[in-house]
Structures are given as C-alpha cells and as structure tokens.
Amino acid sequence: MLICPLCQGPLSVSDNGVACPANHRFDRARQGYYNLLPVQYKNSRDPGDNAAMVEARRRFLDAGHYAPLASRLAALAAERDPERWLDIGCGEGYYTSRLAMALPATDGYALDISREAVKRACRRAPQLHWLVASMARVPLADASCQLLASVFSPLDWQEALRLLSPGGGLLRMGPTGTHLLELREKLYDQVRDYDDQKHLAQIPAGMRLAHSETLEYRLELTEAEARADLLAMTPHGWRANAERRAAVIAAPFEVTVSIRYDWIEKT
C-alpha cells in the first residue's frame, strides 16, 4: 500500500526497510517508523515541530485537558468503520492512538513532517504504520483509504481526494471562532475573528460535506505548567510578546474549548 515518494512505485519490505522496483530504499528506524521524506522535499533541515513543542503538547494532552475532543473524534471514526485509515499530521500521536483504540481491526497509518513528533508517536500505538512524510506527497496509493483524519492540521485537498476511495471521507477537526478566546484576549490587543466555515469553500469537486457538529466546554487551567504548555504548543507561544506570555503563565484562568468536526465524503 505504501508507494515510493520519489517515483511512486510500490514499496515492499526489504531487509530492515522498504524498497521500490527502481531500487529506492528507505530504512525502518529503531523506533519503528519509516522516513519517507526525501531531503529534496524538505524546506529546512528538521521541518515541523521541534522537540520542545512536541513535549509541551504531549504533557498537555496526556493531562487530559482535551480528552473529550479525542473521545468524540474516535467515536465519529468508529461510526464510519473504515478498512484502512490515515491520520494526516499526526503530531506526537495522542489523537492517533485514540483512533487506533476505536478501530482495532483496521489497517492504520499515520504521518507527520516532524521526525521528533513521529519518534514519540510510535510509542503510543506500535501496531500502526508510522511515517515521516509530506502531507503534500503522501506515500500511499490512490484510493487506498476509507477515512482520513485531519486534526488541527493543514490539508492538501487534492491529496485527500486522491487517497480516498469512493464513499470514503475526511474527518476534519478544527477550531471555531471562540476556541481559546480568553487566552487570545490576554495575549493580543485585538483578537482577530476566525471563520470556522472558510475551509468549506476549499472542498474540491468530487467531495461534499455530509455531517458537521461542534463540541464546546470550559477548561480551568489551574496549573502553571498546563498554561505554559498550551502556549508552547500553539502559534500564540511565539506570536505574542514575552510580557504577556509571562502574565498568562502567572495566574489561573478559564478558557473556552470549541471544536468543529466535519465529515466530508468522496462522492
């Protein structure tokens, strides 16, 4: 099911890695993932989230702050009952592992451009196929997946269309305009409006929105570490000035968690 990122030929297991008929070879890392991101497709030496960002996200998510979000994502995926699925932009694997638990008899894949993230993600669900790869050049065959998951992640719509088999779909999870509003109000003089439907205009011909729902709750951030980790795992951690970041970490406050789920089918 894997294809070569260089020539798109099929990859098969060979020694401690995979190889295509053109003899492009890719080793399996000791942690269990395949690095299918050739150097010519990198925009930097180590693209994606760095180790500090990955660790901040791991601590925050493992503390359970977003557990309701993961539970709903897993339930929606289980309703679709795919044979094969892919988590695009899996990060350090928190949501991916919840998907794996909800879909135990399926063939699961997960990828991220960050090697640091995938190295840690492997530990959560070693039974999955973990890949360091580009979301714009996913090394999976055409029409090979019945479900794609995209959680707080950029998306290449044409790749999604290519990867999905007819009747399959994209399960997208992203923020609404009120998500973390109180945090943003503390960090910026002016909070920008966010249109949580703007992605719908990007849906290509051949796909359609079949279901949408929102999950919202209040989250009390009582621990300084949780507040610091939330800053570090979002763009707000480097966009806001140091004084305001320090003020956020200094005192407990409550934020709104508000997430939209969309199921976008391939027709």
Question: What DSSP element (H or E) covers 245?
Answer: helix 242-250
User: Rounded to an integer, what is the distance from CA 80 to the centroid of its chain?
Assistant: 19
What pLDDT, on the 0 to 100 scale, is given for residue 60? 97
Confirm whether 2 is domain-assigned. Answer: no
In a domain, 195, yes or no: yes
**Whole-angstrom Cα distance, residue 113 to residue 39?**
12
Cβ neighbourhood burial of 38 (10 Å; 0-12, 13-18, 19+): middle
pLDDT (tens digit per residue) in 80-124: 999 999 999 999 999 999 999 999 999 999 999 999 999 999 999
3-state DSSP of 78-120:
HHHCCCEEEEECCCCCHHHHHHHHHCCCCEEEEEECCHHHHHH
Q: The domain containing residue 88 runs over which residues? A: 12-266
Predicted TM-score (pTM) of the model is 0.94
Asked if residue 6 is part of any domain, the answer here is no
Query: Nearest to residue 10, comparing CAs of 144, 147, 164, 145?
Result: 144
Does residue 54 sit within a domain?
Answer: yes
pLDDT per residue, tens digit, the chain (267 aa), is 999 999 999 999 988 899 999 999 999 999 999 999 987 655 655 655 778 888 999 999 999 999 999 999 999 999 999 999 999 999 999 999 999 999 999 999 999 999 999 999 999 999 999 999 999 999 999 999 999 999 999 899 999 999 999 999 999 999 999 999 999 999 998 888 888 899 999 999 999 999 999 999 999 999 999 999 999 988 877 788 889 999 999 999 999 999 999 999 999
Count Cβ atoms below 10 Å from residue 262 Cβ, excluding itself. Answer: 22
Task: Identify whether 146 is part of a domain.
Answer: yes
Is 3 contained in some domain?
Answer: no
Class of residue 138 by CB neighbours under 10 A (exposed 0-12, middle 13-18, buried 19+)? buried
Picking from 121, 233, 62, the residue whose alpha carbon sits closest to that of residue 109 is 121
DSSP string, 186-203: HH-SSPPP--TTGGGGGP
CATH number at residue 193: 3.40.50.150
Rounded CA-CA distance 113/256 in Å is 29
Flag whether 96 is in a domain. yes
Domain membership of residue 43 (yes or no) is: yes
Residues 210, 147, 132, 159, Cα dihedral to 10°: -60
Count of domains for the chain: 1
